[in-house]
Amino acid sequence: MTVGVDGSLAATWALDRAAEEAERRGAALRIVYAVPDRDEAGPVLASAASRVRARRPGVPVVAAAVEGGAAHALLREGQDADLTVVGTRGFGGLTGRLFGSVSLRLCARTRSPLLVVRGDQPSRGFGTVLLGIASDADADAAAFAFADAERRGARLNVLHAWAQRHVTPELPSLVPATSPGRQEDARRTLSEEAVPRFTLAELEERYPQVGVATRTVRTGPAQALLEATREADVVVIAAHRNPDRHGVHLGLVTHTLLHHSHCPVLIVPAGQANGSRV
């Protein structure tokens, strides 16, 4: 596991969360500080390592100073990590404008799971992992969420939200129940409600001890997930990147949660995580 520090309060929150995750996973923790001059990193790294050893004595700790920008350093150092943890305010922040922040750049480019922790989010005790899924393309995020819920001894709440295509309303008194519009709506409703059932079936067999509650709602996924984060310890989502000539862009759900989530956000790159990394 890898965590980025810089001496800020937000980075300290991220460090504490990373140490907690490392202990839960039985993993070593690599603490990284990206600076122009490595000589400047000594006191910050020493303090971070001492904090982890005092609070989580069973977690092996390695501290390293790396030269260069924080985003590039964490991408490089975390490329083979099971999880990279970053605090937001200490790295440019997610309060205010997201563009140009280290956290956003990490979300857009990371090839391994990334946990984003805001400085005002201490560990919570709801005993709930929240998973947001849109389709079977989110299978990697689902696998990560099941494994995380098992490690935590937590229940898994799955939210599948879909926005109904806007059509001109048909008056019930004038349109028969078998009209093409109603038939299409019924077919799509059945199809969407089947998404979590098919996506999660194999995982529920693999993790029989994880209690799962699934809900499908006809509303915007961003706002539905945001509201659900009020009672979750962590929210897990897939990152679907949309490259174009201006670069790589993240979707509305990711942006909304990074701005406003009430709990830490765990991002799993779609199609790039696998069972060995969960």
Q: Please give the Cα distance from 100 to 123 (Å, whole number).
A: 27
Instruction: Give the pLDDT band of residue 246 (cuts 50, 70, 90).
Output: very low
Give pLDDT, residue 270: 80
What is the torsional sign of CA 19, 21, 25, 29?
A: negative
Q: Please give the Cα distance from 87 to 31 (Å, whole number).
A: 13
CATH number for 192: 3.40.50.12370
Domain span at residue 151?
Answer: 128-236+244-258
pLDDT, one tens digit per residue, over 90-116 is 344 444 333 337 777 888 888 889 999
Give pLDDT, residue 187: 53
Is 50 exceeded by the pLDDT of residue 128? Answer: yes
User: Are residues 59 and 50 in contact, defined by beta-carbon separation less than 8 angstroms?
Assistant: no
CATH number for 30: 3.40.50.620
Residues 168 and 225 placed together within one structural domain of the fold: yes
User: Per the domain annotation, does 41 fall within a domain?
Assistant: yes
Is 50 exceeded by the pLDDT of residue 278? Answer: no
Neighbours of 64 (CB within 10 A): 15
Angle at which helix 139-152 crosses helix 180-206, to 10 degrees, equals 40
Highest mean pLDDT among 42-56, 70-84, 134-148, 227-241: 42-56
Q: Angle 46-258-150 (CA atoms, 0-180°, nearest 5)?
A: 75
User: Are residues 240 and 272 in contact, defined by beta-carbon separation less than 8 angstroms?
Assistant: no
pLDDT, one tens digit per residue, over 32-60 is 998 888 888 899 999 999 999 999 999 99
Residues 6+ apart with CB under 8 A from 278: 82, 143, 144, 146, 147, 148
Give pLDDT, residue 37: 80
Residues 110 and 152 placed together within one structural domain of the fold: no
Residues 8 and 27 placed together within one structural domain of the fold: yes
Please state whether beta strands 242-244 and 247-249 pair in parallel, antiparallel, or not at all (unpaired).
antiparallel
Amino acid at 46: A
User: Per the domain annotation, does 9 fall within a domain?
Assistant: yes
Residues 33 and 150 placed together within one structural domain of the fold: no
Among the listed residues 104, 83, 95, the one whose alpha carbon sits nearest the alpha carbon of residue 14: 83
Instruction: Give the pLDDT band of residue 69 (cuts 50, 70, 90).
Output: confident
User: Per the domain annotation, does 276 fall within a domain?
Assistant: no
pLDDT, one tens digit per residue, over 152-161 is 999 999 998 7
Give pLDDT, residue 235: 96
Please state whether beta strands 212-217 and 84-87 pair in parallel, antiparallel, or not at all (unpaired).
unpaired
Residues 132 and 254 placed together within one structural domain of the fold: yes
Q: What is the number of structural domains in the chain?
A: 2
User: Per the domain annotation, does 270 fall within a domain?
Assistant: no
User: Per the domain annotation, does 273 fall within a domain?
Assistant: no
Distances, alpha carbon 140 to alpha carbons 37, 115, 198, 199, 200, in Å: 38, 15, 14, 10, 11
Q: Is the pTM value of this prediction over 0.75?
A: yes
Residues 132 and 182 placed together within one structural domain of the fold: yes
Q: What's CA 227's distance to the chain center, in Å? A: 15
User: Per the domain annotation, does 99 fall within a domain?
Assistant: yes
